A and B are shown apart, each in its own frame.
Chain A
Amino acid sequence: MSERAAPVTATEEQRDDQETPSEEPSEADDTESATDAEPTPVTTGAESVVRALENAGVEHAFGVQGGAIMPVYDALYDSEIHHVTMAHEQGASHAADAYGIVSGEPGICLATSGPGATNLVTGLADADMDSDPVVALTGQVPTEFVGNDAFQETDTTGVTMPVTKTNTFSSEPDRVGSDVSEAFALASEGRPGPTLVDLPKDVTNAETDREPDEPRTPDTYDVQERADPEIVAAAAERVENASRPIMLLGGGVIKGDAAEVCREFAIEHEIPVVTTMPGTGAFPEDHELALEGAGMHGTGYANMAITHCDTMVAVGTRFDDRLTGGIETFAPDAEIIHVDIDPAEISKNIHADYPLIGDAGTVVEQLTEAVDESPQATKWRAQCQQWKSDYSMAYDTPEDEPVKPQFVVEALDEATSDRAVVTTGVGQHQMWAWQYWTYTEPRTWVSSHGLGAMGYGLPAAIGARFAADDDQEVVCVDGDGSFLMTLQGLSVAVRENLDITVAVLNNEYIGMVRQWQDAFFDGRHSASDYGWMPEFDTLAEAFGAEGFRIDDYDEVADTIDAALTYDGPSVIDVHIDPQANVYPMVPSGGDNGQFALTEDQL
Chain B
Amino acid sequence: MTDEQGLDGPAPGERPTPSGRRNKQGIRIDPEVEAKHEPRRTVISALVEHEPGVLAEASGLFSRRQFNIESLTVGPTDDDERARITLVVEEPDPGIDQIKKQLRKLIPVIAVRELEPDAMRRELALVKVNAERPDQVAAVADMYDAKTVDSSPETATFEITGARQKIEAAIETFSQFGIREIARTGTTALARGTDDTAAPAPAESTANEANNTPYTQPADDD
Q: How far is the CA of A394 from the CA of B8 in the complex (A)?
A: 8
* Interface pair B16/A308, CB less than 8 Å apart: yes
A355 interface residue, CB < 8 Å from B?
yes
Q: How far is the CA of A162 from the CA of B203 in the complex (A)?
A: 25
* Interface pair A221/B206, CB less than 8 Å apart: no
* Interface pair B105/A342, CB less than 8 Å apart: yes
B60 interface residue, CB < 8 Å from A?
yes
Stretch at the interface among B19-27, B138-146, B157-165, B188-196: B19-27
Also in contact, A224 and B207, with CB within 8 A (given A583-B6, A598-B2): yes
Partner of B211, one of A186, A319, A346, A392: A346
Also in contact, A351 and B104, with CB within 8 A (given A157-B53, A332-B20): no
* Interface pair B17/A593, CB less than 8 Å apart: yes
Q: Note all chain B residues with C-beta closer than 8 A to A584.
A: 7
**Closest chain A residue to B208, Cβ basis:** A228
Q: How far is the CA of A595 from the CA of B108 in the complex (A)?
A: 44
Q: How far is the CA of A221 from the CA of B109 in the complex (A)?
A: 9
B116 interface residue, CB < 8 Å from A?
no
Q: Note all chain A residues with C-beta closer than 8 A to B11.
A: 597, 601
* Interface pair B7/A393, CB less than 8 Å apart: yes
Interface residues of B in 126-144 (CB under 8 A from A): none
Interface residues of A in 289-307 (CB under 8 A from B): 300, 304, 307
The size class of the interface chain A forms with chain B is 35 or more
Also in contact, A593 and B15, with CB within 8 A (given A166-B107, A328-B21, A332-B20): yes
**A583 CB to nearest chain B CB (Å):** 5
Q: How far is the CA of A349 from the CA of B24 in the complex (A)?
A: 9
* Interface pair B7/A222, CB less than 8 Å apart: no
What string of 1s and 0s marks CB contacts (under 8 Å) between B15-49 and chain A?
Answer: 11111111111111000000000000000000001
Q: Note all chain B residues with C-beta closer than 8 A to A224.
A: 203-204, 206-207
Also in contact, A343 and B25, with CB within 8 A (given A228-B207, A308-B16): no
Q: How far is the CA of A329 from the CA of B12 in the complex (A)?
A: 14
Also in contact, A162 and B6, with CB within 8 A (given A330-B22, A332-B18): no
* Interface pair B207/A598, CB less than 8 Å apart: no
Partner of B9, one of A162, A220, A308, A391: A391
B110 interface residue, CB < 8 Å from A?
yes
**B151 CB to nearest chain A CB (Å):** 40
Also in contact, A220 and B107, with CB within 8 A (given A161-B60, A328-B23, A599-B3): yes
Q: Note all chain B residues with C-beta closer than 8 A to A512.
A: none
Partner of A390, one of B10, B28, B102, B110: B10
* Interface pair B7/A349, CB less than 8 Å apart: no
User: Would you call the interface of chain A mostly helix, strand, loop, or mixed?
Assistant: loop
Partner of A222, one of B12, B23, B27, B203: B203
Stretch at the interface among B68-76, B93-101, B173-181: B93-101
Q: Note all chain B residues with C-beta closer than 8 A to A4.
A: none
B183 interface residue, CB < 8 Å from A?
no
A36 interface residue, CB < 8 Å from B?
no
Q: Note all chain A residues with C-beta closer than 8 A to B53.
A: 157, 169
A454 interface residue, CB < 8 Å from B?
no
A347 interface residue, CB < 8 Å from B?
yes
Q: Note all chain B residues with C-beta closer than 8 A to A581.
A: 2, 5-6
* Interface pair A350/B26, CB less than 8 Å apart: yes
* Interface pair A598/B15, CB less than 8 Å apart: no
* Interface pair A351/B7, CB less than 8 Å apart: no
Partner of A593, one of B18, B22, B49, B106: B18
Q: How far is the CA of A327 from the CA of B52 in the complex (A)?
A: 39
Q: How far is the CA of A162 from the CA of B1 in the complex (A)?
A: 44
Q: Note all chain A residues with C-beta closer than 8 A to B118.
A: none
A70 interface residue, CB < 8 Å from B?
no
Name the 10 nearest CB pairs between A and B, nearest first.
A598-B6, A332-B20, A344-B101, A350-B26, A351-B27, A355-B210, A594-B12, A599-B2, A391-B9, A581-B5
Chain B residues close to A by CB (< 8 Å):
1-12, 15-28, 49, 52-53, 56-57, 60, 64, 94, 97-98, 101-102, 104-110, 203-204, 206-208, 210-211
Q: Name 5 A/B residue pairs within 8 A (Cβ), A-sorted.
A: A307-B18, A357-B206, A391-B10, A581-B2, A595-B12
Given contacts A327-B25, A332-B22, A390-B10, 7 further A-B contacts (CB under 8 A): A158-B56, A304-B15, A332-B18, A344-B105, A351-B26, A357-B206, A584-B7
